[in-house]
Amino acid sequence: MSVKITMVGTGYVGLVSGACFADLGHDVICVDKDERKIRMLLEGKMPIYEPGLDELVHRNVDAGRLRFSTDVAASVKDREAVFIAVGTPTENGSDRADLKYVYAAAGEIAQAANGFTVVVTKSTVPVGTNAQVFDISQKNVASGARIAVASNPEFLREGAAINDFLEPDRIVVGVEDDEAKAVMRRIYAPLLLHGNVPLLITGIQTAELIKYAANAFLAVKISFIDEMANLCEAVGGNVEEVARGIGLDKRIGPSFLNTGPGWGGSCFPKDTRALLATANDAGVPSRIVTSAVDANSARKIAMVDRIAKACGGELRGKRIAVLGLTFKGQTDDMRESTSLVVLPELLRRGARLTAYDPSNPHEAQHYLPEVQMVKTAEDAAEGADALVVLTDWMVFKTYDLKELSSVMASPNMIDLRNLFDEAEATAGGFVKYSSLGR
């Protein structure tokens, strides 16, 4: 039996989750106060870049299972579950998550809800947030209505979010109300049909912590392999073979063992900071996560030093071509991208920059006003003294390296994602090639 669902927020999490819930057969309204986003969606245009999202949205809109609105109150009435999927950025002046959008949504939902409604927090929030959501709901709930609260953290990777939702490793639900628990089981019943997806129903505080613990662990894993890459370079090892060798151990696994220029994005930086703030408030030392955060900050500056070394030690006056601006490939998200640290530092040291990103992120020029944004990789490489691969866009692997190297002033590639190898680069006309950990 389908469930009437409203998704408050149409960012990466809200829009993908709403469209996927509709694809599972539920009746879904995605609501957002950003009129531009809703107008785009009503016109069939996606406000974010996510592979396969446009087709998924169009299919479910055509089937009548997915609608869009800017009216929160109207979209909440007669709904069995209302998911909060709004932003939780880092609070100004601290490392804590800013929860004002979550709390505002909770108040509006409670005022408009009628009958029994489960308010489900999908946004990443620190321990104790859902208790506050419950208190806000009780203070604002209309007479005759009843609200229960659940925590349902998301584990979606940008660029692979649809597959992650429809074929999840696990589903985590923090809920302590029996009627709400039944609603959550009905919502996820299509994914649980064949019994191959673990469903973990736990306490609300535990569910809140699971999300932060997962992201912090993955961040630590990346920082670890980055340090192993440095060691490999110093002693003559190959980090890719080290990663494969340890990843074959089932206790470790192969995921998140690709070295790179440092982690960023919408989750790892803010979530590690928020976890550290929570631990600090609780008086619990968190040395491992602290070390990973510090190592990641140092890693990004070390990439600038590496580029300078590959350019003969001096960046002033050098023209550098940059491939990739987003924090990872297959997304248009620039939040806390390594490019936002590396490129300004290159400019500060006197380099001239041209950059190309396949997603043409609309925020790029705002964040990096002194960087010349171009429309193709060839335009970026034209007359360049070095080509820096900064983001792991898979499409870069399809490029004709001979075409790129032929238009450069000095065919020098600094591959900070290990997308290529020295033999490929040499065959492609690059006289100099450097990578990480090998």
Report which secondary-structure segment, H or E, holds 100: helix 100-112
Q: State the average pLDDT over residues 263-282.
A: 94
Q: Name the residue ranges covered by the structural domains of the chain.
A: 4-202, 237-438
2 band by pLDDT with thresholds 50, 70 and 90: very high
Residue 286 CA to residue 271 CA, distance in Å, equals 14
With beta carbons less than 8 A apart as the criterion, state whether 325 and 368 touch.
yes
Quick check: do 4-202 and 237-438 share a fold? yes
Model confidence at 163: pLDDT above 90: yes
E-state strands within 49-145: 66-69, 81-84, 116-121
Name the maximum alpha-carbon separation found in the chain: 75
Question: Per residue in 17-62, pLDDT tens?
Answer: 999 999 999 999 999 999 999 999 999 999 999 999 999 999 999 9
Q: Which of 20, 30, 232, 267 is catalytic?
A: 267
Model confidence at 196: pLDDT above 90: no
With beta carbons less than 8 A apart as the criterion, state whether 221 and 243 touch.
no
- 267 catalytic? Reply is yes
Q: What is the mean pLDDT of the chain?
A: 96
Q: Is 76 exposed, middle or buried (0-12, 13-18, 19+ CB in 10 A)?
A: buried
Amino acid at position 152, single letter: N
Model confidence at 142: pLDDT above 90: no
Residue 304 CA to residue 187 CA, distance in Å, equals 48
Q: What are phi and psi of 232, to 5 degrees?
A: -60, -45
Report which secondary-structure segment, H or E, holds 199: strand 199-202
**Share of residues in the chain with pLDDT > 70 (%):** 100
The reported pLDDT for the residue numbered 386 is 98
The reported pLDDT for the residue numbered 81 is 98
Q: Which residue has the tokens 């469209």?
A: 19
Model confidence at 330: pLDDT above 90: yes
Q: State the average pLDDT over residues 392-404.
A: 97
Among candidates 15, 134, 37, 27, which has minimal Cα distance to 75? 27
Model confidence at 106: pLDDT above 90: yes
Per DSSP, the chain holds a count of helices (H) and strands (E) of 17, 14
With beta carbons less than 8 A apart as the criterion, state whether 402 and 428 touch.
yes
Name the CATH code of domain 4-202 (choices 3.40.50.720, 3.20.20.80, 3.40.640.10, 3.40.50.300). Answer: 3.40.50.720
In angstroms, the Cα distances linking 125 to 49, 246, 432 are 24, 32, 46
Question: Per residue in 109-121, pLDDT tens?
Answer: 999 999 999 999 9
Work out the angle at residue 88's Cα, subtended by the Cα atoms of residues 86 and 94, and round it to the nearest 5 degrees.
160
Model confidence at 93: pLDDT above 90: no
413 band by pLDDT with thresholds 50, 70 and 90: very high
Among candidates 389, 343, 387, which has minimal Cα distance to 369? 343
With beta carbons less than 8 A apart as the criterion, state whether 115 and 4 touch.
no
Please list, residue by residue across 234-244, b when 16 or more beta carbons sit within 10 angstroms of its beta carbon and e when fewer do.
Answer: eeeeebbebbe
Residue 368 CA to residue 326 CA, distance in Å, equals 12
94 band by pLDDT with thresholds 50, 70 and 90: confident
Structure tokens at 436: 């990480």
Q: State the average pLDDT over residues 3-14.
A: 97
In angstroms, the Cα distances linking 47 to 54, 61, 171, 264 are 10, 16, 27, 21
With beta carbons less than 8 A apart as the criterion, state whether 414 and 388 touch.
yes
The reported pLDDT for the residue numbered 1 is 79
Q: Which residue has the tokens 């809703």?
A: 38
With beta carbons less than 8 A apart as the criterion, state whether 286 and 319 touch.
no
Model confidence at 357: pLDDT above 90: yes
Amino acid at position 43, single letter: E
Direct distance between the N- and C-terminal alpha carbons of the chain, in angstroms, rounded to an integer: 54
**Share of residues in the chain with pLDDT > 90 (%):** 95
237-438 CATH = 3.40.50.720
DSSP string, 130-180: HHHHHHHHHHHPPTT-EEEEEE----PPTTSHHHHHHS-S-EEEEE--HHH
194 band by pLDDT with thresholds 50, 70 and 90: confident
Structure tokens at 307: 């580029």
